[in-house]
Amino acid sequence: MKKTNSKTWTKHIADSWNMWTPPDRPSPGELAVYEKALQGILARKKNARLLVLGSTSEFRDLAAKYKVPCTVLEYRAENYDILGSLMKRKKYRETLVVGDWRTAKLKQKVDLIVGDFCFGVVPKADQTKFIKNVSTFLAPGGVCMIKTFVRYDANRGDLAASLVWYRKHKRNRPILESIMAPMFKYAYNFSTEVTTFPDVWKNFVKLYQKKQMTAAELKYFEKFAMDKIPLKLYIPFFPDLIKNVRENATLVGVCYASDWFSIDVPIVIFKRP
């Protein structure tokens, strides 16, 4: 999350978001976790309020389903409009707040905050600021639930081997389910703690040239125009992430959805310090 004139989660990504699949978007298993949490909150507080970090259409649909007032904290109004077009339900009492997750202030406290990959788009140096500020949005008893891609080691892995595994075990599933974690780790710079989409794409091209990636697989990823996506991603080392949350908020727990790939994308749950 940078200022509104920064090139991060751009219009290009928003425009192409309908082509991306879980785990880059919330999966059915993950949405079931969020829905259960919202049901629990509504059971004890009927006038609950929801905050979505970013413009994720699936989360806005969830608020509309339960007729919960929803605030969307998005740094680019354009993204809000584009992802709103992907909603399956009519918006219900949505309020857009254009701002930075690290510094924004809200007029009203909320009972549930949901976010998808928020830790990943906040630079490592700003993680503490992000956690502290988001915690201030919560009403007493409220919780924040953020799904994030994590790593458990400093091993870049073998992307070619991951493709072989996909073809053997998950060929009937969207390729991103199998390749998302390996493709980002394989391109990760463990010194600067960042990975980029152009670097991911370069690795795909190299594998194709070595005949380790098929033409069909390369063509699938070509449609995302990764070489034109300026977004930089931080992949938290899981123990460091948990330590940071514990030091700057109150860790409630970590939840893994029912999806087979959920070990790579846990949902971290915390509340006010």
- Residues 249 and 200 reside in one and the same domain: no
Is 3 part of a structural domain of the chain? no
Is residue 227 pLDDT above 50, yes or no? yes
* 185 and 194 Cβ atoms separated by less than 8 Å: no
Is residue 143 pLDDT above 80, yes or no? yes
Which SS3 state, helix, strand or coil, does residue 220 take? helix
Mean pLDDT of 226-233: 91
- Residues 118 and 222 reside in one and the same domain: no
At which residue do the structure tokens 């809000």 appear? 80
- Residues 249 and 210 reside in one and the same domain: no
DSSP for 40-81 reads HHHHH-TT--EEEES--HHHHHHHHHTT--EEEEES-HHHHH
pLDDT band at 1 (very low <50, low <70, confident <90, very high): very low
Is 4 part of a structural domain of the chain? no
Distance CA 265, CA 116 (A): 10
Is 32 part of a structural domain of the chain? yes
Is 5 part of a structural domain of the chain? no
DSSP for 85-125 reads TT-SS---SEEEEES-TTT---SS-EEEEEEESHHHHS-GG
Per-residue DSSP letter, 5 = T
Q: What is the predicted pLDDT for the residue at 19?
A: 81
- Residues 130 and 252 reside in one and the same domain: yes
Per-residue DSSP letter, 233 = E
Per-residue DSSP letter, 228 = G
For 164, the domain range is 159-229
- Considering only residues 6 and 257, tell me which one the structure prediction assigns the higher pLDDT: 257
Any idea what the CATH number is for the domain that residue 95 is in? Answer: 3.40.50.150
Q: How many CB atoms lie within 10 A of CB 244?
A: 18
- Residues 42 and 87 reside in one and the same domain: yes
* 148 and 120 Cβ atoms separated by less than 8 Å: yes
- Residues 77 and 40 reside in one and the same domain: yes
Distance CA 127, CA 192 (A): 15
- Residues 131 and 83 reside in one and the same domain: yes
* 36 and 64 Cβ atoms separated by less than 8 Å: no
Is 2 part of a structural domain of the chain? no
- Residues 143 and 201 reside in one and the same domain: no
| 162: region left, alpha or beta (phi > 0 left; psi from -120 to 50 alpha) | alpha
Q: What percent of the chain shows pLDDT beyond 90?
A: 91
Is 105 part of a structural domain of the chain? yes
- Residues 206 and 242 reside in one and the same domain: no
pTM of this prediction? 0.93
- Residues 19 and 130 reside in one and the same domain: yes
b/e for 161-186, b at 16 or more Cβ within 10 A? ebbeebeeeeeeeebbbbbbbbbbbb
Residue 186 tokens, joined: 């394989």
- Residues 85 and 21 reside in one and the same domain: yes
The tens digit of pLDDT for each residue in 21-38 reads 999 999 999 999 999 999
Q: What is the predicted pLDDT for the residue at 10?
A: 61
- Residues 205 and 240 reside in one and the same domain: no
Nearest to 18 by CA among 86, 98, 89: 86
Q: What is the predicted pLDDT for the residue at 250?
A: 98
Is 246 part of a structural domain of the chain? yes
Number of domains in the chain: 2
Is 29 part of a structural domain of the chain? yes
Distance CA 127, CA 199 (A): 23
pLDDT band at 232 (very low <50, low <70, confident <90, very high): very high
